[in-house]
Amino acid sequence: MDGIGAADGLPLAGRPWHSDGMDIVDKARRSAMMAGIRGKDTKPEMRVRQAAHALGFRFRLHRRDLPGSPDLVFPSLRKVIFVHGCYWHRHAGCRYATTPKSNADFWQEKFVKNQDRDRRALTDLVAAGWDPLVIWECETSDAKVLSARIASHLGPREENDLQG
């Protein structure tokens, strides 16, 4: 992959540095959109898609009929992959999972809801016989490591071929 460095690994969801109140949401959303425009092909989800595709796996995207609408769905393997932004999904111990200083309560509540939703989605998926993998945004910058992780989650490609 092209030289993806630390700067590129910044959370796409945009972080509210300044400003207070609901305006923050708009700002965050705006900068997320900007980030999307700027680096579409380097977005974490795109990196994961490319890696899975390069490994020869076929997948569907964002199946809304599954808990949490997983980003990548491998129906014949009954496996899914979520690509989580470190900021919004609160990657534990990650340097990108910062907490805004202003409106801390507002954000805390938002983050807790996100985490609850994520946990529930994983539980429901497992209960329904799916095998989920969460890949964090900050874990997508090294293409080799990413590819190996995806491969180990999905198993050997031959298996995939056999299952159609």
Query: Between 5 and 129, whose beta carbon lies closer to Zn ion?
Result: 5
81, 72 contact by CB (below 8 A)? yes
Q: Is 87 in the site for Zn ion (CB under 5 A)?
A: no
How large is the C-alpha radius of gyration of the chain?
Answer: 17
Site for Zn ion contains 94 (CB under 5 A): yes
Q: Which stretch binds Zn ion (CB under 5 A): 17-25, 26-34, 48-56, 138-146?
A: 138-146
If binding is defined by CB under 5 A, does position 136 make contact with Zn ion?
A: yes
Residues 27-86 that bind Zn ion (CB under 5 A): 86
- Distance in angstroms (rounded) separating the CA atoms of residues 162 and 31: 43
91 counts as binding Zn ion under rule CB under 5 A: yes
Binding residue for Zn ion, selected from 32, 122, 134, 138, defined by CB under 5 A: 138
**Interface region with Zn ion, contact rule CB under 5 A, candidates 1-9, 51-59, 93-101, 108-116:** 93-101
Minimum distance from CB of 2 to Zn ion (Å)? 20
Q: Which C-beta is closer to Zn ion: that of 86 or that of 125?
A: 86
What HEC string does 49-72 produce?
A: HHHHHHCCCCCEECCCCCCCCCCE
Q: What does the binding site for Zn ion look like in residue numbers (CB under 5 A)?
A: 86, 91, 94, 136, 138
